[in-house]
Structure 1
Amino acid sequence: MDQAAEHETQIDWQGGAIFRPVRTGNAFEETVERILEAIKLGVFGYGDRLPAERELATRLHVSRETLREAIRSLQQAHCVESRRGRYGGTFVTYRLPPPDLGELRRAVQDMGAELEDALTYRQALEVGASEAAARRTLTEEQRAHLTQRLTDLDRATPEEYRQLDSRFHLAIAELTGSHSLAAGVAESRMRLNDLLNAIPMLERNIEHACEQHRAMAEAILAGDPEAARRATEEHLEATAALLRGFLG
Structure 2
Amino acid sequence: MEEEKRTVRAVERALDVLLCFTAKEEWGLTEISARIGLHKSTVHRLLATLEDKGFLIRDEATEKYRLGLRMLELSAHLTRSDDPAVMLLPEMEGLMNRLGETITLYVRDRTERVRIQAVQSTQAIRRVAPVGARLPLAVGASSKVLLAFADPAVRALVLTDPSWPSAVDRSGYEKQLDEIVAAGYATSIEEREPGAAAVAAPIFNRSGKLVAALSVSGPSNRLTYEVMKEHASYIMEAARRMGAMLG
Q: TM-score, normalised by structure 1?
A: 0.38
Higher relative contact order (CA 8 A, sep 6+): 1
* Structure having the higher Rg: 2
